[in-house]
């Protein structure tokens, strides 16, 4: 009798037998942590061995709170060199016989107060064979049932900002690790990105859960362990599906719960999704997942064009900010920027001087060679050097549903103001209908079920609409958020 075969409970499962069809051998990338000047030979998943060297590292910080905004490494693979920017919505780039990215560098640890990446050297590099997928097909899906960039995100080393977390002279910076996907509270299903078993659901923990597991169970989160040995965390859930019990086997794409703003969400509704894996240091650390999300979403929703105007920026009034759309993907792209304060600019990157404090949301329109159009929005928070204690309000907007909206369908729009005592927001739905005023609770109680102000809107005609919502503080300092909404045939 085989003792192990029927035992799909408890610790035997954790040994790997029942975590599903995604073995560790399906991981396509290889990870190496290096010090500057250090070289290591890496054997790729296709058997090819390459020599990888970290040549240099340059980190640029903002002047408001000294957070790293851009970390650039110079790397060499088999004698061929290139520069890579760490995290911040970058995907792997081709270099000779490999694809390579840089999830994290040491400067992010300096004011972080923690090391969720498990990085002990200067930088981490990941390598894939040239032309390979970044994540094995059939092993990973996009965990939120909504459109790509349907709302704000905080991804991969971007300091958290949506809830007004970025303040001058912060001693500690919360560089977001993992992937925050903003969405409409209670209206977006969260599904499992991987196949695996539930090691904890809320505060219930699987008996026999490995003592050294990286999981931190909490009432609003779920952990799924897969056959790769990855722990995926889903946080801030409003509801957890009753079938998601410790020990349960979860299929790829199975519903886990509903997006919310519970736990340490800061009061903005989003899914916090992250992946924990053993890193080269021997420590548990964040497995950067932006490239996996990108590819998983693209498999489910094939697309030719994606506008990317993220991450956000933080500046003092009187400073210049570079608006950067270079992470957009498509063929023969044309870039147009429209500024919140009026005016416009062309080009992949534009520089803009911000004279007055506020939370601005700049529109990037990209058009490809076939005439397709996509938009994204870059948030720029501008603070007054003379009044660092009065940072501008911030604002979060979302809508649902995001797919399959037809003319005459009701669409729910929600908004919440942060960092001001009073709410009060005005929507422009982008279709020529009159403005609509609402009033959120301004995050007075971050868990309030009706903390977001809700509006319903019906589009009479099919179209691609640019929606904006604004809060203005009593002294005139604005906070603006934007959304794009597609109505009618795809």
Nearer residue to Zn ion within complex by CB, 272 or 473: 272
- What is the smallest separation between the CB atom of 482 and Zn ion, expressed in angstroms? 22
- What is the smallest separation between the CB atom of 272 and Zn ion, expressed in angstroms? 3
Nearer residue to Zn ion within complex by CB, 272 or 482: 272
Total interface residues for Zn ion by CB under 5 A = 2
9: closest CA among 69, 106, 242, 18? 18
Nearer residue to Zn ion within complex by CB, 158 or 180: 180
Residue, CB closest to Zn ion = 272
Distance CA(310)–CA(91), nearest Å, equals 13
Query: Could you give the string, one character per residue 375-404, with x where binding to Zn ion holds by CB under 5 A and - elsewhere?
Result: ------------------------------
Distance CA(248)–CA(313), nearest Å, equals 42
- What is the smallest separation between the CB atom of 80 and Zn ion, expressed in angstroms? 36
- What is the smallest separation between the CB atom of 130 and Zn ion, expressed in angstroms? 33
- What is the smallest separation between the CB atom of 216 and Zn ion, expressed in angstroms? 13
- What is the smallest separation between the CB atom of 465 and Zn ion, expressed in angstroms? 29
User: Which of 12-20, 124-132, 172-180, 247-255 is the region at the interface with Zn ion (rule: CB under 5 A)?
Assistant: 172-180
Distance CA(195)–CA(456), nearest Å, equals 36
- What is the smallest separation between the CB atom of 270 and Zn ion, expressed in angstroms? 7
Nearer residue to Zn ion within complex by CB, 180 or 368: 180
Instruction: Give the number of other CB atoms < 10 A from CB of residue 436.
Output: 15
User: Which of 118-126, 175-183, 252-260, 277-285 is the region at the interface with Zn ion (rule: CB under 5 A)?
Assistant: 175-183
Strand partners, 126: 31, 101
Nearer residue to Zn ion within complex by CB, 122 or 180: 180
Q: Which residues does 161 contact at the CB level (< 8 Å), separation at least 6? A: 154, 312, 314, 379, 381, 394
**Residue 374 contacts Zn ion per CB under 5 A:** no
- What is the smallest separation between the CB atom of 359 and Zn ion, expressed in angstroms? 20
User: How many CA atoms lie within 13 Å of 131's alpha carbon, on the beta-carbon side?
Assistant: 2
Q: Which of residues 200-229 bind Zn ion (CB under 5 A)?
A: none
Coil/strand/helix, residue 142 = coil
Nearer residue to Zn ion within complex by CB, 249 or 446: 446
**Residue 180 contacts Zn ion per CB under 5 A:** yes
For residue 339, the Cα-to-chain-centroid distance in whole angstroms is 24
- What is the smallest separation between the CB atom of 261 and Zn ion, expressed in angstroms? 11
Q: Are strands 39-43 and 410-418 parallel, antiparallel or unpaired?
A: unpaired
User: Which of 32-40, 174-182, 327-335, 346-354 is the region at the interface with Zn ion (rule: CB under 5 A)?
Assistant: 174-182
Q: Which of residues 267-326 bind Zn ion (CB under 5 A)?
A: 272
Distance CA(479)–CA(355), nearest Å, equals 15
Instruction: Give the number of other CB atoms < 10 A from CB of residue 101.
Output: 23
Q: Are strands 463-472 and 425-428 parallel, antiparallel or unpaired?
A: antiparallel
Q: Are strands 222-226 and 313-316 parallel, antiparallel or unpaired?
A: unpaired
Query: Could you give the string, one character per residue 238-277, with x where binding to Zn ion holds by CB under 5 A and - elsewhere?
Result: ----------------------------------x-----
Beta strands per DSSP E along 167-269: 179-182, 189-191, 196-201, 204-205, 222-226, 231-235, 239-240, 249-250, 255-258
Residues that bind Zn ion (CB under 5 A): 180, 272
């Amino acid at each position: 009798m085989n003792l192990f075969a029927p035992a799909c409970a408890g610790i035997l499962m954790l040994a790997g037998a029942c975590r599903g069809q995604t073995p560790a051998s399906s991981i396509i990338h290889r990870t190496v942590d290096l010090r500057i000047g250090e070289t290591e030979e890496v054997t790729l998943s296709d058997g090819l061995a390459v020599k990888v060297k970290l040549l240099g590292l340059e980190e640029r910080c903002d002047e408001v709170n000294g957070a790293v905004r851009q970390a650039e490494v110079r790397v060499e693979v088999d004698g061929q060199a290139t520069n890579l920017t760490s995290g911040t919505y970058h995907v792997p780039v081709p270099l000779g016989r490999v694809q390579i990215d840089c999830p994290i560098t040491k400067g992010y640890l300096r004011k972080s107060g923690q090391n969720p990446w498990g990085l002990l050297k200067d930088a981490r590099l990941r390598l894939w064979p040239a032309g390979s997928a970044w994540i094995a097909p059939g092993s990973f899906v996009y965990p939120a049932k909504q459109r790509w960039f349907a709302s704000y995100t905080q991804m991969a080393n971007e300091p958290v900002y949506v809830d007004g977390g970025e303040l001058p002279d912060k001693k500690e910076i919360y560089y977001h690790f993992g992937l925050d996907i903003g969405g409409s509270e209670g209206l977006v299903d969260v599904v499992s990105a991987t196949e695996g078993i539930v090691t904890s659901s809320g505060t219930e923990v699987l008996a026999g859960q490995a003592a050294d597991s990286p999981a931190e169970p909490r009432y609003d989160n779920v952990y799924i362990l897969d056959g790769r040995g990855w722990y995926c965390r889903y946080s801030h859930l409003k509801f957890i599906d009753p079938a998601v019990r410790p020990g349960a086997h979860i299929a790829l794409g199975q519903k886990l719960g509903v997006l919310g703003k519970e736990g340490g969400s800061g009061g903005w509704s989003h899914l916090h999704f992250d992946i924990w894996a053993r890193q080269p240091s021997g420590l548990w650390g964040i497995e950067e997942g932006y490239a996996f999300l990108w590819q998983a979403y693209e498999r489910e929703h094939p697309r030719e064009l994606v506008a990317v105007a993220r991450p956000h920026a933080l500046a003092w009034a009187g400073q210049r900010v570079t608006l950067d759309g270079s992470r957009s993907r498509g063929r023969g792209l044309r870039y147009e920027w429209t500024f919140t304060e009026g005016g416009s600019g062309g080009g992949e990157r534009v520089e803009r001087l911000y004279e007055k404090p506020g939370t601005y949301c700049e529109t990037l329109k990209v058009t490809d060679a076939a005439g397709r159009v996509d938009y994204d929005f870059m948030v720029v928070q501008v603070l007054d050097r003379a009044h660092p204690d009065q940072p501008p309000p911030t604002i979060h907007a979302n809508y649902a549903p995001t797919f399959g909206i037809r003319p005459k369908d009701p669409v729910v729009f929600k908004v919440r103001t942060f960092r001001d005592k009073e709410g009060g927001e005005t929507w422009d739905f982008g279709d020529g209908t009159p403005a609509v005023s609402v009033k959120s609770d301004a995050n007075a109680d971050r868990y309030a079920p009706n903390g977001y102000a809700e509006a319903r809107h019906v589009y009479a005609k099919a179209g691609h609409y640019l929606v904006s919502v604004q809060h203005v503080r009593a002294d005139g300092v604005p906070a603006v958020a934007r959304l794009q909404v597609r109505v009618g045939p795809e």
